Amino acid sequence: MKLHNSFVYALFLLALAQALDARTITAELPICCKTIYYEQHSLDQTGLGQIEQKKYTTLFSHGLGSMYDQAYYYYNRGLFCQPCFATFNYIDAPEGVLKRNTHTGLAQASEIACMRAAYEKTIALQPDGIVLYGISRGSSTIINMVAQCHQEGIDLSLIKAIILESPFADAEDTLATFATRCKVPLFFARFLVKRIFKEYDRYQNKPIDAVRYLPSDIPILFVCLQADAVVPYASTLRLYEELKKHERDNVYLLSLFGNGFHANLPWAAQGHTYYPALQTFYQIADLPYDVTAAKEGTTYLV
């Protein structure tokens, strides 16, 4: 019975893939960021350990299936070092990947170009420093974009810190999880994903290959959930360990245990550790931080 159910489900996914592949897209889709959404609120330095009057802007990179306003959930949680942030839409937002999938991959070329355009527009806002903050696909794209820019010799001195929540080291890790949960062969999962994410190429733009090229002077924080059902915990851990293997001493890891959902880690069972751990990281990165919370956060970071 289980085999029969899996076979029927596989046929359904195949039919969906064929339907998506058969669609004709008449409009040319943009491959780069056209709009930056920018918020700047009054700076309250009360209780902050870094009181120098500088403006740090967080550039937020949203996850797959979300859009620019995902940043507001994190801002309202108090997770940005200052109330100044920029956010943008990837090509799949706001209509979704099923409608705008021609240039959508998993941290592939179009998304890298979009992230790069957003970064350049954030520079134009003339901040004293930029914090890159990404969720899932958005965090893997940050890795690829920054590594690419660094290899091209582009000045990245404005980037003061990078925060990566649930990045995948290789999209194949996520596909393997999907195949196991749906009880379909991995080759079929690859076939389906290629139909939905037209730009996806499993041989190109792997964050695990790019992560070593991140500038060594930028502090990096990885945040992951051990029970993550979308991006395996081990996949994010691979990125962290790859940097540690290259003797990076400014790379940190926050692992959350217990229940929770992918791309919602601040609201997980151990989400109460997220804020203080982040404040400790901000302190390490010489950014504004909550003094009281940072003392607690030292026990959560690895």
Domain extent listing, the chain? 34-297
Q: What is the 3-state secondary structure (H, E, C) of the chain?
A: CHHHHHHHHHHHHHHHHHHHHHCCCCCCCCCCCCCCEEEECCCCCCCECCCCCCCEEEEEECCCCCCCCHHHHHHHCCCCCCCEEEECCCCCCCCCCCCCCCCCCCCCHHHHHHHHHHHHHHHCCCCCEEEEEEECHHHHHHHHHHHHHHHCCCCCCCEEEEEEECCCCCHHHHHHHHHHHHCCCHHHHHHHHHHHCCCCCCCCCCHHHHHHHCCCCCCEEEEEECCCCCCCHHHHHHHHHHHHHCCCCCEEEEEECCCCCCCCHHHCCCHHHHHHHHHHHHHHCCCCCEHHHHHHHCCCCC
**Domain 34-297, second-level architecture:** 3-Layer(aba) Sandwich (3.40)
pLDDT at 63 over 50: yes
The model's pTM is: 0.86
Average pLDDT of every residue of the chain: 84
pLDDT value, residue 10: 46
pLDDT at 9 over 80: no
pLDDT value, residue 178: 81
pLDDT above 90 as % of the chain:
61
